[in-house]
Structure 1
């Protein structure tokens, strides 16, 4: 007989429904041996006053963001360029050898932010590869451009103050890094909320190798924060707010708008023509329409003033993306690298539009989206929102002619929510992060002891294979929901919002080719809406 060494507490409540990775995940179980082993069978869960899961995740994220800043710090080192004159130490390809390159630093001068000019209004002349002059403007979407302008204003105010100083571009980088770190913390927070009882899945988001490499490579953390916030608002049955946040994300980087497609497909699948006493209060298609409508209005509200006042500056982002050739990271360039293929349009000079490449890229993405929509409608059980969203964003990156290295951060929160398999995700993130090494030495050039292009494009192939493998695993779990760890213990879809625990009808009003293969087992409808866990 066992006797408690002290009187039991009056409140013995325990969050026993929370996932315990030290017992359900082999990787975590092995790592837990370093700190005393897995959680006990009779442990009381969720009673720690300070170190709650969310605070632990925030601490993890802050540590990795700090390490990421140190990784970029080599590119903001200063050196004297003359009597009383300081400059950045980027001689002899230092930014590539130290692998600290960040777009933030060169763009401060290239986008003429150092002049204090307002983006989209300021124009300048560059010379193309063939020597032709070309009028240029800010090349980023409106919200990203205004974000850079705001950071520039803070940097200039700091520079003229009596605060500890440095080169203005160094201060600018640090301001941007701080703001992007806050945005990534929002991404981690929102993703942890979306994970529901599997809150510890977000630990891989906070500890991702891709954060170490790309948190401050560009401005993408701003878009991931809006995207994660939009999904969280949808999960909490606030479709208008979800649309507003996704619209703001689309004004920073266009990819958050892609999240609306899977939401529409899943709402279409869930819609029933007859009224329902519970779900008639917020029919799925009404919610989807509210989200899409508010996203469109928000995107236009942000873009319209710039488009009206500075139409050429506003159009610059779209013009450059239309005229841009295949990115070094795209599979189109990979084929060229290994075969010598000249591309769909042949050899083009700078400024010439790759018309056929643009069309092929668009058609491939549309075909991929059609396939994903078919999966979403035909699967025996309705897929989770995160699963379809991940597939769409992955398809966009794989078929697009541009895959800048920091774009991989778009996938991190979506992959963690769609496929919470820690070993698999860690393997993909490590492969993707390590692509940065050959990329930097390829950009260094063979004349400065860099590496040939094929060494870089070979690692791109490995990354693409890893992403395709993730897509295959997600599709497998869509067709075999019993293998989905999120859906254990009666859980339906923590990010589903109005879709969570909604009926999954046979949809007789759809063409037979688009109906579910069989009527899914009806999930009991809850008496009340089930909010996402805030633990």
Structure 2
């Protein structure tokens, strides 16, 4: 197809009244539905001037065999990943310990390098903290350390099973590599540096899977994934912890659901929940949407497969090392409010310390209110919300009311935000603010003579980030209640009054509302 200048309509290339300068390809199809950011997005249109400007009106979209959208997105993501690795490389510097023949290499974190260089990563610290440097198997090995109350606490690996086994597997590989260096002269470095680099390689692959799945879920808006690929949050935090594993599982679950494969979506939800707890929230979102659409059977398929997969992963560790398996829940129950949370801002301002039981009860109670609120939005909105919109609201609500909001947790929102909120300026404003929180946060750990910012700057940054996330939620809610303002519901070239349902909704897309009458009756009453 190609656009006819006189009518503005797409017509087959062979029907045009002109002759080609060469032999036409046998495959004459073009993608007339793809949304082109260089035409529709002011920011992308301006940026495209670097490479020749927006795509031409008569370009044959979708015909390139080399520079496909997915490959370009991978290239952009690799650029961000490279910057992320270089950002952490300051913490991989080595120094000699001792002198003469007895000198050995050690990690050079002298003069608080990990904070002054903004390169701190849990991946490096956990290598020794979780006894991985000793070859210890997670959940079986324990040690003692001081708890919040000053008492000695018996500790195990505090990460869910898939994350813990990933850490152990990479640590084993790093040690084997180091052994090969000693036996055969294979180039190597400190085992902790090898560990970080191998972990980073795996996390980079998980992130590329996330980009791939997000781009395919976006369908005609495949280019929207560029905002995730080049996110400042990815540059700062992709290698701060192990969250990329669960994020990839969530992205794959949403893609499978969008492709009408509920049981496979459940498999990835189960795997994600075995790596990090937050993917389980996706089941709540699917439940309320399926209730409204009358697709309960599909939800049951997803929920059952998620539960079965989660049990298959967790049961062996639970049966063999019950105390070690339970450590994740014990640790999160006993830990205080983190500095990044609203609870800590309130306690610091009021001059008191939260009692752990009260804090847990308050956090749980607010989470229940978030779930009820999101469910209410799903059931009473004038048009059934899109899956990505509701998933974003659920995860954002969870972060805002949870007593822990580690800096890298903000990454969870990036793929969901790209699918839910097609507004480039707003998304990048939030991601830049959220990424910059890292600067005052690192300053908190510096000695007094090195500290570059007062603690109040960090508090202000946390509050500003909270305001930005609330603004994103407000935009999502507005577009749920005003679907005509949602760009994703408008197909390219379609009349303004013709709205799509949920292009990534899978079995939900185009399904009638089974609760519409009940909702109308509730409103009338």
Report the TM-score, using the length of structure 2 for normalisation: 0.91
CA contact (8 A) 2:140 2:321 kept: yes
- In the other structure, the counterpart of 2:508 is 499
CA contact (8 A) 1:326 1:402 kept: yes
Shift of 1:512: 3.6
Shift of 1:509: 5.0
Shift of 1:457: 1.3
CA contact (8 A) 2:281 2:394 kept: yes
Q: What secondary structure does 2:444 align onto? A: helix
CA contact (8 A) 1:123 1:136 kept: yes
Q: What secondary structure does 2:445 align onto? A: helix
- In the other structure, the counterpart of 1:6 is 21
Q: What secondary structure does 1:312 align onto? A: helix
Cα separation, 1, equivalents of 2:449 and 2:274: 40
| Aligned equivalent of 1:341, options 329, 351, 371 | 351
| Residue 21 of structure 2 corresponds to residue 21 of structure 1 | no
| Residue 204 of structure 2 corresponds to residue 188 of structure 1 | no
Shift of 1:127: 2.7
- In the other structure, the counterpart of 1:476 is 478
| Residue 104 of structure 2 corresponds to residue 85 of structure 1 | yes
Q: What secondary structure does 1:230 align onto? A: helix
RMSD: 1.8
| Residue 269 of structure 2 corresponds to residue 249 of structure 1 | no
CA contact (8 A) 1:445 1:451 kept: no
CA contact (8 A) 1:332 1:343 kept: no
| Residue 313 of structure 2 corresponds to residue 315 of structure 1 | no
What is the 5 A alignment of 1:373-522?
A: 373-489=375-491, 490-508=499-517, 512-513=521-522
Cα separation, 1, equivalents of 2:484 and 2:472: 18
Stretch deviating more after TM superposition (36-45 or 243-252): 36-45
Shift of 1:498: 0.6
Q: What secondary structure does 1:86 align onto? A: strand
Report the TM-score, using the length of structure 1 for normalisation: 0.90
1:291-335 deviation per Cα after TM superposition (whole angstroms, max 9, x unaligned)? 111111111211111111111111111001001111100001112
| Aligned equivalent of 1:111, options 105, 130, 144 | 130
Q: What secondary structure does 1:87 align onto? A: strand
- In the other structure, the counterpart of 2:160 is 141
Q: Cα gap change, 1:61/1:378 in structure 2, threshold over 3 Å: closer, same or farther? A: same
Cα separation, 2, equivalents of 1:360 and 1:225: 30
Give the count of matched residue pairs: 495
Q: What secondary structure does 2:517 align onto? A: coil
Cα separation, 2, equivalents of 1:256 and 1:496: 17
Shift of 1:340: 3.1
Cα separation, 1, equivalents of 2:150 and 2:272: 36
Q: What secondary structure does 1:381 align onto? A: coil
| Residue 74 of structure 2 corresponds to residue 58 of structure 1 | yes
Following TM superposition, the consecutive aligned residue runs of length 4 or more in structure 1 with deviations greater than 4 angstroms are: 1-5
CA contact (8 A) 2:207 2:248 kept: yes
- In the other structure, the counterpart of 1:285 is 296
Cα separation, 2, equivalents of 1:182 and 1:147: 13
1:223-274 deviation per Cα after TM superposition (whole angstroms, max 9, x unaligned)? 0000101111111111111111111100100011101111111110011xxx
- In the other structure, the counterpart of 2:86 is 70
- In the other structure, the counterpart of 1:233 is 256
| Structure 2 residue ranges without an equivalent (≥5) | 6-16, 492-498
Q: What secondary structure does 1:444 align onto? A: coil
1:58-88 deviation per Cα after TM superposition (whole angstroms, max 9, x unaligned)? 0111111011000000001000011330101
Cα separation, 1, equivalents of 2:482 and 2:148: 53
Q: What secondary structure does 2:286 align onto? A: helix
Cα separation, 1, equivalents of 2:440 and 2:414: 21
Cα separation, 2, equivalents of 1:81 and 1:103: 23
| Aligned equivalent of 2:240, options 214, 217, 242 | 217
- In the other structure, the counterpart of 2:201 is 178
Cα separation, 2, equivalents of 1:294 and 1:318: 23
Shift of 1:135: 1.1
Q: Cα gap change, 1:358/1:129 in structure 2, threshold over 3 Å: closer, same or farther? A: closer
| Structure 1 residue ranges without an equivalent (≥5) | 272-283, 346-353, 519-535
| Residue 51 of structure 2 corresponds to residue 40 of structure 1 | no
- In the other structure, the counterpart of 2:495 is none
Cα separation, 1, equivalents of 2:98 and 2:188: 18
Shift of 1:447: 3.8
Cα separation, 2, equivalents of 1:385 and 1:130: 43
CA contact (8 A) 1:446 1:452 kept: no
Shift of 1:507: 3.4
